[in-house]
């Protein structure tokens, strides 16, 4: 597992366990909503019960929480604070398909989005799942489709659209933001939104799963390392406008992941904006550091206004 821990880029989550709880719960006032009315499709066994582990080691001055063994995927809706812009973002934490960095790349992102008047929907998707395989001590194959996780994300996008009126959301301004493995899922749903991965279960599945905009942040699994785009990411002119953030010194997934994806978007004439920084590493989320990459959320807000998602 040593090599795989490096792939995760979340060593802080693997050292110095401070506390464990059986199931992750959001703060008071927010409720997890199951995204499937019954068991999730193609449900696979996992090593044990769902567990949320809080690290003892601090990351940017704060502990980090890792959730694993998720078999009952949920979404948690965070309403805007102050003025509601009508925009919504589904947030997809990373964790190498083994864990979910639920606060570092989840709730903290919702805090930022809701403070800007954006409804945030935090997805707790199934992990561990392919391309990670907990049965073996092996590195995941970059070219595999993350079927169960993508099923969960497709279903969530459709549910959000089906409940747009209830949540005061514009069904044409719903996007997706994800980190690392979650960034891979963002690219997958941006290019596989019409690909049926599960049988419809209710009226919500009549809705489109296509995001109106996409934000993959330090994404992984987008290239095999040969300079070619993952074949499971079929970029086309229908791929939504995309905002990318990447550090050049990301030695977990590598800068080529974002570069290859951006090049494919440009060739397909998809509106895309990429911010490449010299320093930042991997798994920085929104936590403030001394590096300029800390300012990426402000650039994202400007971009959202540029493409008409945020309207002052």
DSSP assignment of 98-147: T-EETIIIIIHHHHHHHHTT-EEEEEE--BS-TTS-TTSS-PPPTT---H
Residue 153 counted as domain residue: yes
Residue 311 counted as domain residue: no
pTM score: 0.93
Residue whose entry in the numeric block shows the structure tokens 């971009």: 303
Q: What confidence score (pLDDT) does residue 8 get? A: 40
Domain count, the chain: 1
Alpha-carbon dihedral sign for residues 83, 84, 87, 89: positive
Write out pLDDT tens, residues 199-231: 999 999 999 999 999 999 999 999 877 889 999
Q: What confidence score (pLDDT) does residue 31 get? A: 92
Residue 103 contacts residue 186 (beta carbons within 8 Å): no
Residue 220 counted as domain residue: yes
Q: What confidence score (pLDDT) does residue 141 get? A: 57
Residue whose entry in the numeric block shows the structure tokens 């993952």: 230
The residue length of the chain stands at 312
Residue 67 contacts residue 100 (beta carbons within 8 Å): yes
Dihedral over alpha carbons 105, 108, 113, 116 (to 10 degrees): -150
Residue 179 counted as domain residue: yes
Residue 235 counted as domain residue: yes
Q: What confidence score (pLDDT) does residue 148 get? A: 95
Q: Which of 202, 119, 124 is nearest to 160 (CA)?
A: 119
Residue 312 counted as domain residue: no
Alpha-carbon dihedral sign for residues 296, 297, 302, 303: positive
Domain residues for the domain of 60 are: 2-306
Whole-number Å distance between alpha carbons of 206 and 201? 10
Residue 283 counted as domain residue: yes
pLDDT lower than 50: segments of the chain: 1-17
CATH label of the domain that carries residue 272: 3.40.50.1820
Residue 307 contacts residue 241 (beta carbons within 8 Å): yes
Q: What confidence score (pLDDT) does residue 138 get? A: 66
Whole-number Å distance between alpha carbons of 84 and 73? 27
Tokens of 183: 């960034």
Residue 73 contacts residue 34 (beta carbons within 8 Å): yes
DSSP-derived letter for residue 96 is: T
């Amino acid at each position: 597992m040593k090599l795989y821990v490096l792939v995760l880029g979340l060593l802080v989550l693997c050292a110095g366990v401070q506390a464990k709880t059986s199931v992750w719960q959001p703060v008071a006032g927010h409720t997890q909503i199951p995204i499937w009315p019954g068991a999730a499709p193609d449900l696979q066994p996992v090593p044990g019960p769902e567990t949320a582990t809080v690290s003892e080691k601090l990351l940017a001055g704060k502990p980090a929480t890792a959730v694993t063994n998720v078999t009952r995927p949920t979404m948690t809706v965070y309403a805007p604070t102050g003025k509601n812009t009508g925009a919504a973002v589904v947030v997809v934490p990373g964790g190498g398909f083994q864990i979910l960095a639920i606060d570092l790349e989840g709730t903290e992102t919702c805090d930022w989005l809701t403070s800007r008047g954006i409804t945030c929907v935090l997805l707790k998707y199934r992990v561990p799942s392919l391309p990670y395989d907990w049965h073996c001590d092996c590195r995941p194959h970059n070219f595999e489709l993350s079927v169960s996780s993508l099923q969960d994300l497709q279903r969530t996008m459709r549910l959000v659209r089906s409940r747009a009126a209830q949540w005061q959301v514009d069904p044409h301004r719903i996007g997706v933001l994800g980190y690392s493995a979650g960034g891979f899922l963002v690219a997958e749903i941006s290019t596989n939104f019409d690909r049926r991965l599960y049988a419809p279960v209710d009226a919500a599945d009549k809705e489109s799963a296509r995001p109106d905009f996409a934000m993959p942040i330090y994404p992984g699994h987008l290239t095999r390392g040969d300079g070619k785009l993952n074949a499971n990411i079929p970029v086309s002119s229908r791929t939504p406008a995309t905002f990318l953030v990447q550090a050049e010194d990301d030695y977990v997934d590598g800068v080529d992941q974002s570069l290859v994806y951006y090049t494919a978007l440009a060739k397909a004439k998809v509106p895309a904006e990429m911010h490449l920084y010299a320093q930042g590493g991997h798994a920085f989320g929104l936590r403030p550091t001394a590096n300029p990459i800390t300012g990426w959320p402000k650039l994202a807000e400007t971009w959202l206004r540029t493409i008409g998602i945020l309207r002052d």
